[in-house]
Amino acid sequence: MMRRWFILVSLAVLPAFSSGLTLQGMEPSQLRRYAAMLGEHAGASQWQRLWQATRQRGYFAADGERLRFVVPMRELPTVARQTLNAPDDLEIEGASQMRIRRNFDPVVIGTIDGKLLHGLCLAVDWSDAPALRPGEAWSPADLFHVSLRLAEPCE
């Protein structure tokens, strides 16, 4: 009897705790709202991890033919927030990851093999964000679980 009760309680409670946000099937307007909320409410540690991952990829090299930023580092946080607030393209990758892109032409954001790149692309992982039920809204604290994974110059 006790075991049956435990199984029933577990089946009722687990879905509330086990699933994070899934992006597949969401409307582009909803994805844009989520990206804009992230741009407004992302915390310093989220941005710090983004720039650290980007630096580890070598995208801040002063010169060279490989993919790198040429826009001054002091401008990148503003460019990244603008990308989140008003993206040109959103592409879902897997169940909970998104590539967010904005074109800043005529401003050159980066280069690769001598080619000028005018876009900024951000990789964002929403898998640890809480899943929302219809009619629910996130609080800014819920966005702390979203990972700003990588920034890179793009076309």
Q: What pLDDT does 144 receive?
A: 86
Whether the full predicted model's pTM is greater than 0.85, yes or no, is no
> How many other C-beta atoms are found inside a 10 Å radius of the C-beta of residue 54?
21
pLDDT tens per residue across span 86-126: 999 999 999 999 999 999 999 999 999 999 999 999 999 99
**Confidence grade of residue 139 (pLDDT, cut at 50, 70, 90):** confident
Q: What pLDDT does 89 receive?
A: 96
**What radius of gyration, in Å, describes the C-alpha atoms of the chain?**
19
Q: What pLDDT does 19 receive?
A: 55
pLDDT tens per residue across span 62-81: 888 899 999 999 999 999 99
**Residue type at position 108:** V
Mean pLDDT for the stretch of residues 22-50:
91
Identify the residue whose tokens are 């540690």. Answer: 45
